[in-house]
Amino acid sequence: MKMSTLYAPTLKEAPGDAEVVSHKLLVRAGMIRKLTSGIYTILPLGLRAVNKVAAIVREEMNRAGAQEILMPMVQPGDLWRESGRWEHYGKELLRFEDRHGRDYCLGPTHEEVVTDLIRGEVRSYRQLPLNLYQVQGKFRDEIRPRFGLMRCREFIMKDAYSFDADEAGAEASYRAMYDAYTAIFTRLGLRFRAVDADSGSIGGSFSHEFMVLADTGEDTIAVCQACDYAANLEKAGVRGKFDPSPEEGPRLTEVPTPGAHTVEEVAALLDVNPTQIIKTLLYDADGQPVAALVRGDRELNEIKLKNALGCAELRLASPEQVREWTGAPVGFAGPVGLGVARILADQELRTAMDYVVGANKADAHFRHLCLGRDVQAKIDYRDLRTITAKDPCPCCGGPLALPRGIEVGHVFKLGTKYSEALGARFLDEAGKEQTIIMGCYGIGVTRVVAACIEQNHDAAGIVFPPPVAPFEAVVLCLDPKDEAVLARTEEVADALRAAGADVLLDDRDERPGVKFKDADLIGFPLQCVVGGKGLARGIVECKDRRSGEKTELPLEGFAREAALWRKGVWCGWGLGAGDGVEECR
């Protein structure tokens, strides 16, 4: 491929709406262009990177025994009614009517469609297990599309669905996908962690998110420095011993706290530490009022609360509900005499006493609260707060780190949620009717490219790992008007191709400085320069984009030298050139 004819409109400046580096660089490197909010056209260079990711994804999925299909993007509303998600999915589901007034939606995911596909056709245990996948455009009407390819409304996902006859089979399918994902992200040259994620009502360790580690990630994960524990913050359990507190101490006393609504305001007014305050958060759990108590300096974890309650929907109470349930405006709720359906408290509140809490009265709080003594209602003590870097590892007690990550993949055991709702059943060996057990497995193919850039870039631009780069190598011709120089450039490009790289030839009639800048901006891992003084000396100057290291390779015997050099660059990434990832590890 020649750069003179390539549609790769590079820019000096990033667009004003680009906040994160991958968004800025994808636009500047001429890889994507915005059509409208959260919706992008992917240009030739961007598409090559996307396709490279997709190719590795396909290879590993096929290797794991999954079969590729292609399902429609437009899905009938009636099917979503059968699963119950037409009502529950929320506004991310873009719904519309056809000319006959029938409901449709754009697929944000395909559990309904794939379950419809197999129900009725897969009837015998002999047809199981089965794993079907696709690489396809998804649409989610995200409330805040942002960060370019990171959180779009339209994006490309690889989604796979497994179908098994029994639990053991479902677990084996899950494991196979977990292993395939590990192979995929390793081959892509990304630094990642598979973290234990919340699996909601399924329980157990059957949901893992694959996180690309990057400071700009939207997610925080808990990683142990001593053992191999890694979990999503939502899932990470807080470890500790929490004995009930003694019930002696100063008596509960009401104090005026005019205008002090927040923990900070109350702490300042009463001159107490936030650790001596209890926050009382009110929620609407499936229509029932519930209160959740955590220490003033802690963060309530809504996923933990939802799991502890076992409810389907959890919403923070509205100001009207707060007034109705407590008789006070927001900011003064407390557990004393509170008439709600359930009160849950974080486990650590069991151990101490002498707290400040809201008095369920405008502009008033209580001091010296002891939960066991002063609250008549039953309190459920649970792990409700989000873990912090100061907490010990829930697995081994070792020190924790909380790095940021970008979720690029998710493996999830679904159980019988969809097969039950849609009636996907089969006859087992004994001729008895059983419900198929399912799993679903997604990779955000376009997000992988963005995450890869978030993790790998410098001041000059993108630093693509070789397996993701739109072209692994660029050969810059310093004097494209000179036939002889151009011929040498072609030879160098051919030699790199023979070594296994795909090569872009920069034959543009541009100043060398422009070409160097573009090569670094787009982030080709291997860069070779042909022309000028080097050529006169019979050498080609080659640069490893990642290390910046320059190597002079002789034109004489270039093919052999180039192959070795290329291998060295891959090894720098911890990858083996070609397919043998183990080679360099």
**239 part of the interface to Mg ion, by CB under 5 A:** no
For Mg ion, which is the closer residue by CB, 302 or 482? 302
**139 part of the interface to ligand ATP, by CB under 6 A:** no
Helix (H/G/I), strand (E/B), else coil: 542: strand
In the region spanning residues 43 to 72, those forming contacts with ligand ATP, defined by CB under 6 A, are none
H-helix or E-strand spanning residue 210: strand 207-213
152 binds, among ligand ATP, Mg ion, none (CB under 5 to 8 A by kind): ligand ATP
Task: Please state the closest distance from residue 110 (CB atom) to ligand ATP, in A.
Answer: 11
Stretch that binds Mg ion, among 220-228, 311-319, 407-415, 417-425 (CB under 5 A): 407-415
Residues touching ligand ATP: how many (CB under 6 A)? 15
Would you give the distance in Å from CA 69 to the centre of its chain?
A: 24
Residue 432 to residues 124, 168, 210, 427, 429, Cα–Cα distance (Å): 10, 18, 38, 5, 7
32 binds, among ligand ATP, Mg ion, none (CB under 5 to 8 A by kind): none
| Contact with ligand ATP (CB under 6 A) among 140, 457, 543, 546 | 140
The pair of three-digit structure tokens given for residue 304, joined into one six-digit string: 């933990």
For ligand ATP, which is the closer residue by CB, 33 or 368? 33
| Contact with Mg ion (CB under 5 A) among 58, 404, 410, 497 | 410
**191 part of the interface to Mg ion, by CB under 5 A:** no
User: CB-based contacts of 264: which residues, under 8 Å, 6+ apart?
Assistant: 274
Report d(CA 551, CA 569) in Å as an integer: 11
Radius of gyration of the chain (CA): 29
**151 part of the interface to ligand ATP, by CB under 6 A:** yes
Stretch that binds ligand ATP, among 8-16, 53-61, 152-160, 257-265 (CB under 6 A): 152-160
For Mg ion, which is the closer residue by CB, 239 or 410? 410
Stretch that binds Mg ion, among 361-369, 404-412, 474-482, 488-496 (CB under 5 A): 404-412
In the region spanning residues 336 to 355, those forming contacts with ligand ATP, defined by CB under 6 A, are none
Chain residue at closest Cβ approach to ligand ATP? 444
Task: Please state the closest distance from residue 154 (CB atom) to ligand ATP, in A.
Answer: 8
In the region spanning residues 362 to 401, those forming contacts with ligand ATP, defined by CB under 6 A, are none
Pair 565, 545: CB distance under 8 Å: no
Task: Please state the closest distance from residue 158 (CB atom) to ligand ATP, in A.
Answer: 8
Q: At what angle do helices 44-63 and 167-187 cross, to 10 degrees?
A: 140
Stretch that binds ligand ATP, among 225-233, 403-411, 522-530, 557-565 (CB under 6 A): 403-411
Report d(CA 517, CA 179) in Å as an integer: 39
User: CB-based contacts of 232: which residues, under 8 Å, 6+ apart?
Assistant: 195, 196, 197, 198, 209, 219, 221, 222
**142 part of the interface to ligand ATP, by CB under 6 A:** yes
Residue 68 to residues 63, 132, 135, 136, Cα–Cα distance (Å): 12, 6, 8, 11
Task: Please state the closest distance from residue 307 (CB atom) to ligand ATP, in A.
Answer: 17
First CA to last CA distance, the chain: 32
5-10 contacts: CB < 8 A, separation 24 or more? 6/44, 6/45, 6/504, 7/43, 7/44, 8/43, 8/44, 8/45, 8/522, 9/43, 10/518, 10/521, 10/522
| Contact with ligand ATP (CB under 6 A) among 405, 409, 470, 480 | 409
Please return the burial class of 69, using the count of CB atoms within 10 Å of its CB with bins 0-12, 13-18 and 19+.
middle
For ligand ATP, which is the closer residue by CB, 52 or 447? 447
Q: In sequence order, what are the beta bridge partners of 411?
A: 208, 441
| Contact with ligand ATP (CB under 6 A) among 18, 27, 113, 157 | 157
**410 part of the interface to ligand ATP, by CB under 6 A:** yes
**194 part of the interface to Mg ion, by CB under 5 A:** no
**155 part of the interface to ligand ATP, by CB under 6 A:** yes
**110 part of the interface to ligand ATP, by CB under 6 A:** no
- Minimal CA–CA distance to 522: which of 143, 27, 61? 27
Q: At what angle do helices 483-498 and 558-572 cross, to 10 degrees?
A: 60
Give the x-and-dash track for 435-474 against ligand ATP (CB under 6 A). Answer: -------x-x-xx---------------------------
The DSSP 8-state label assigned to residue 31 in this structure reads S
- Residues in contact with Mg ion by CB under 5 A are 410
- Residues in contact with ligand ATP by CB under 6 A are 109, 140, 142, 151-152, 155, 157, 407-410, 442, 444, 446-447
